[in-house]
Amino acid sequence: MRILLAEDDPDLSRQLKSSLQDAGYVVDHAPDGEEAHFLGDTEPYDCVILDLGLPKIDGVSVLERWRRDGKTTPVLILTARGAWSDKVSGFDAGADDYLTKPFHTEELLARLRALVRRAAGHAQPLLVCGGVRLDPRAARASVNGEPLRLTSLEYRLLHYMMLHQNRVISRTELVEHLYDQDFDRDSNTIEVFMGRLRKKIGTDRIETVRGLGYRLKPLHDEVSEI
């Protein structure tokens, strides 16, 4: 397991590096954003531990650049700023997990193990419908290369519609797929989620077929790659 540790504090870096090595990881250390970006861009890491307050280029920018270039390496963000607004913007930039300083080394190791295990899941085929792409393995979706931020219910809905694209899917079918039996559903559940999904992937991509249900289709000027 090869890990990139991007942290500017020399003492913390030394401590973490030795703890990670003790836990059996191979650790590369980058003391600033520039080097972190370069290493992450060129070396195949299994996971990255990224401090947000890096000199030269800040952590969020480094992460955004990797994600824009299509790097899917799991990234665990390390930061002193623990407010929810900071966490949300970290995940927005494409982080996979988040740890607030000060932290216990054991917790960092536990999170790291989970990230690596998750990333090593079985490969599944990428689903594509026009500009919409869905990666079931990483549970990630994107529209024209822009990563989508979906809740699990929205993701489930999109996943099901991607699997059955170009087919009209009834409301009942969608509700049954979306929820377990014990979740209580109100009548407009599907409308609520369709509304949110349309807002995120584009209104025209989901067609409402009156009386029958919904259909996901590529836009006219988009050609499906499969």
Partner 1 sequence: MKEADLASALHNLKRFFPALSHGRGSLAGRLIRLAAIWFIVSLILISAGLTAFFNYASVTRFQAGINDIVRNLYTHTEFDADGRIRIPELYNIRTDDIYSGLYWQIIELDNDDRVIGVHKSGSLVERSLDGPKKLDKMSGQAEFYNGIGPRRQPLRQTAVYLRIQNHNLLFIAGEDRSQLDRNVGQFALITGGALIVLALGSLVAIYLQVRIGLRPLFALTDELHDIRKGKTTRLHGTYPAEIAPVTEEVNKLLEYGQDVVERQRTHVGNLAHALKTPLSVLLATAGDNPDPLADTIRKQSALMKEQVDHHLRRARAAARAQNMGERTPVEPVLDELAVTLEQVFRDKDVTIDWRAPENLAFRGEKQDFQEIAGNLLENACIWCKGKIRVTASLSDEAQGMTLLIEDNGPGMPPERYGEVLKRGARLDESAPGSGLGLSIVDELVRAYGGKLSFDRSSLGGLKCVVILPANFIS
Residues lying near partner 1 in the complex (CB under 8 A) are found at: 9, 11-12, 15-16, 19, 53, 80-85, 87-88, 91-92, 96-98, 100-107, 114, 118, 139, 149-153, 183-184, 192, 196
Q: Which is nearer to partner 1, 38 or 103 (CB)?
A: 103
CB of 118 to partner 1, least distance (A): 7
Q: Indicate the residue type of 152.
A: S
Q: Which is nearer to partner 1, 64 or 222 (CB)?
A: 64
Q: Which is nearer to partner 1, 117 or 167 (CB)?
A: 117
Own/partner contacts of 119-123, CB < 8 Å, gap of 24 or more, are: 119/46, 119/47, 119/73, 119/74
CB of 226 to partner 1, least distance (A): 27
Q: 3-class DSSP state for residue 129? A: strand
Q: Which is nearer to partner 1, 33 or 165 (CB)?
A: 33
Q: How far is residue 182's CA from residue 23's CA, in Å, rounded to a whole number?
A: 42
Token pair listed for 6: 């991007």
CA triple 34-37-39, angle to 5 deg: 105
CB of 222 to partner 1, least distance (A): 25
